Structure 1
């Protein structure tokens, strides 16, 4: 009895086999891959730990998915579709993607903490003006501040209640977070603790300074918003142009994928777009 399978059924079976093969490969080489992935992000791990973005289970899962995506790209584009130049370009983009995403997550977390420090300074000044002790003021900020800043202040209060001095807890948080706004806040508090002075006035001046910095940074973001939009449009434009050209002349467009010369041209375009985006990001990365 002969069994005849359609093309769609064969493709489905092949896809299932490929998926099982990738899953088995990731399972067997998982520990070795984890070591390589940890080496890859070793320089960024201290910042992840400092900003509490170091969930080991999620990070290990994401890094294994990253490895699986690179392997699938190599198998599908490199071996199955015989588009080796494009496969190498896509694998390089996937290779650098973790650093890009982790940098973005770190910058996003730092921006949140920086913006929330304005309200925290005002809340702290009001608490001290109301007659609360400094430790009670920190507790008030921890209860009223939004996340993720609330977690950091809760940690300061917890360490203080566990026996550390207020100076030790604040210095530890300052060194761990490494944020200009938080460093300014801690410095003012420590000066008032060691040399005396009206802490409410110091905190009010700090909040005004942080508000001014925040205003300048948002003004800078608004000034560079048009440039970022242009960068996105120019990055997407080659894809739209390729799709439009396929509608007009599908045979010629197909040669970009079926011939080595066409694949090299596509790889060169991908490289130019990638380098242009990185260059534009460095130009617009202005710090105050």
Structure 2
């Protein structure tokens, strides 16, 4: 009996030690990956922040969210699931910031090209026009052209700096601008006219996109209404019939039903938004 007790205690201690070691290694790997990805994303967004502090803040939020879900539902599994879901929150946040930045650059580009065309008509070269106009441009498009000027000072050719710009800002408007500048620079055509035509084309495209966005706004709103309606009913029924609805949070069948509902909700919203998304 004593030997069995010793073996049980030793096995439990070994499992605890293995779990602690594995958890520590996973935490170290997560920290390295998080700081590396955050450093890269902050550099792309021209933002200054300490990745280590952001990691600590993210870890605190994950622990608080896990504890709150656990206390509210009484299920440790749902707490872990919520922590895993919130672990993707920084990725979604950075992607949203990048998307907003690209949209701002795309909106600012027609006016920027018009300014460049005016400077070229005044007798400046393309590099001289960029150097003179960049300080007057709003953020974030001015950051990209300032980096382009720094590359020019370091000896990078115009074609290479334009190629780097298209890689940093992978949108169709920047590709159109870079193509117009390359063609005018190589063939000796009228650069001012090329820039004005590119600006006019981009303005027409933006007007069409705004019109399409207005026409499809109702369909996109319906996707969110239809998607959030079952969740609202779930909250109402949980208040009206807490004993019956409690099985969703405390049994495996309930967890499976919640997972199925969430999966169907995700694909339903995704399909509706894909249907109403029209690419110009």
- Per the normalisation by structure 1, the TM-score is 0.73
Deviation at 1:172, TM superposition (A): 2.5
Q: Is 209-218 or 102-111 further displaced after alignment? A: 102-111
8 A Cα contact 1:83 1:263, kept in partner: no
Counting matched residue pairs gives 258
1:280 & 1:96 partners in 2: Cα distance? Answer: 23
Q: Is 96-105 or 68-77 further displaced after alignment? A: 68-77
2:176 & 2:75 partners in 1: Cα distance? Answer: 54
Unpaired runs of 5+ residues, structure 2, are 1-22
Task: Give CA-to-partner distance per residue, 1:128-164, whole Å, 9 cap, x none.
Answer: 1122232221123312221100111122223323443
Pairing 1:86–2:83 present: no
Name which of 40, 52, 55 aligns with 2:45. 52
Change (3 A) 1:256 1:108: same
Name which of 118, 129, 138 aligns with 2:130. 138
8 A Cα contact 2:42 2:49, kept in partner: no
Deviation at 1:258, TM superposition (A): 4.1
Change (3 A) 1:208 1:60: farther
Pairing 1:119–2:116 present: no
Pairing 1:194–2:191 present: no
1:280 & 1:93 partners in 2: Cα distance? Answer: 23
8 A Cα contact 1:122 1:203, kept in partner: yes
Name which of 261, 267, 276 aligns with 2:268. 276
2:225 & 2:53 partners in 1: Cα distance? Answer: 32
Q: What is the match of residue 32 of structure 1?
A: 29
Deviation at 1:66, TM superposition (A): 3.8
Q: What is the match of residue 176 of structure 2?
A: 184
Name the SS of the counterpart of 2:124 in structure 1. coil
Q: RMSD across aligned C-alpha pairs, in angstroms? A: 3.4
2:255 & 2:163 partners in 1: Cα distance? Answer: 55
Deviation at 1:234, TM superposition (A): 2.2
1:161 & 1:115 partners in 2: Cα distance? Answer: 28
Q: Is 223-232 or 93-102 further displaced after alignment? A: 93-102
Task: Give CA-to-partner distance per residue, 1:59-100, whole Å, 9 cap, x none.
Answer: 554444444444455555469954255335434432443443
Task: Summarize the alignment of residues 9-24 of structure 1 with structure 2, pairs less than 5 Å apart.
Answer: none
- Per the normalisation by structure 2, the TM-score is 0.75
Unpaired runs of 5+ residues, structure 1, are 1-25
Pairing 1:217–2:209 present: yes
Deviation at 1:287, TM superposition (A): 2.6
Q: Is 124-133 or 83-92 further displaced after alignment? A: 83-92
Q: Is 143-152 or 269-278 further displaced after alignment? A: 269-278
Change (3 A) 1:187 1:139: same
Flag the structure with more relative contact order, 1 or 2, with Cα contacts below 8 A and sequence separation at least 6.
Answer: 1
Deviation at 1:29, TM superposition (A): 7.4
2:192 & 2:133 partners in 1: Cα distance? Answer: 14
Name the SS of the counterpart of 1:119 in structure 2. helix
